[in-house]
Amino acid sequence: MNEDLIRIGDLSHVTGVPIATLRYYESEGLIVCVRTRSKYRMFPRDTVDVVMRILHLKSLKIPLAEIRRIFSTDDSPQATREYYLELQQRLEHILERKSIWEEEELKVRQLLESFPTDESADEDV
């Protein structure tokens, strides 16, 4: 066996990602395997880093379709610039939604403060 390749079970163990998920990532083109003569999936050792990057991006709530796009973006200055601008727009949209939710939170808090507390309700009795 080639020492530069690891089995899918070992990749799962090292990364903490279930084998079924690794198979899915492979079917989606996020990671690439090499098939042995007996049809076992073997992965280059640097796949560990790729899977860890996928996990990091997922922890940021980035969908797999977006992760696939990040991985497939070519390194040309034009593609990099376009992707950067899209990410900026995404951030602006998130901040806009955050601002709306903060305003809603403030309104609800003000409404809650306008209700009598249990203590003042007891005094009226």
Q: What is the pLDDT of residue 70?
A: 79
- Rounded to an integer, the average pLDDT of 30-49 is 90
Whether residue 25 contacts residue 65, with contact meaning beta carbons closer than 8 Å, is answered with no
CA distance linking residue 123 with residue 121, whole number of Å: 5
Whether residue 70 contacts residue 84, with contact meaning beta carbons closer than 8 Å, is answered with no
Which has more confidence, 21 or 89?
A: 21
Question: In this structure, which amino acid lies at residue 21?
Answer: T
Ranked by mean pLDDT, the top range of 5-14, 64-73, 87-96 is 5-14
Average pLDDT over all residues of the chain: 85
CA distance linking residue 15 with residue 71, whole number of Å: 19
**pLDDT digit string, tens, across residues 52-84:** 999 988 888 888 888 888 777 666 777 777 778
Closest C-alpha to 22, from 10, 31, 34: 31
Closest C-alpha to 11, from 38, 46, 39: 46
Domain residue ranges in the chain: 1-72, 74-116
Q: State the pLDDT confidence band at 41, using cuts at 50, 70 and 90.
A: confident
Q: What is the CATH number of domain 1-72?
A: 1.10.1660.10
Q: What is the pLDDT of residue 81?
A: 78
Q: What is the pLDDT of residue 107?
A: 93
**Token pair recorded at residue 5:** 């390749």
Q: What is the pLDDT of residue 87?
A: 80
Closest C-alpha to 8, from 72, 31, 64, 55: 31
**Token pair recorded at residue 17:** 């990602």
